[in-house]
Amino acid sequence: MDAADPAPPDAWWLRQLRAEFSAGERIRFQYFWGHRDTGRTDASCLSQWFPAPFSLDGQVYATAEHWMMAEKARLF
């Protein structure tokens, strides 16, 4: 790793993305903030707010976001 390319050696995909962007290619992004259950598997399930209850150490969390907020609160 050097100052010119901060990506680790195994991040070839990042170098490829940078090259494509620099060449003016249109980069397509996968947005996943829509966390509503549509009844089918789509990008919405990638959202931290997607309703996917789980339990950890006996505590049930409604979403990954709920777990993250609880963990942040435990820091203080």
The pTM for the full model equals 0.58
Residue 2 has pLDDT above 60, yes or no: no
CA atoms within 13 A on the CB side of 43: 6
pLDDT computed for residue 44 by the predictor = 82
Rounded-to-integer distance, Cα 14 and Cα 31, Å: 18
Model confidence at 74: pLDDT above 90: yes
- What's the mean pLDDT in 22-37? 83
H or E stretch at 10: none
Q: What is the DSSP letter of 52?
A: -
Q: How sure is the predictor about 5, in pLDDT bands with cuts at 50, 70 and 90?
A: low
Q: Is pLDDT larger for residue 15 or for residue 67?
A: 67
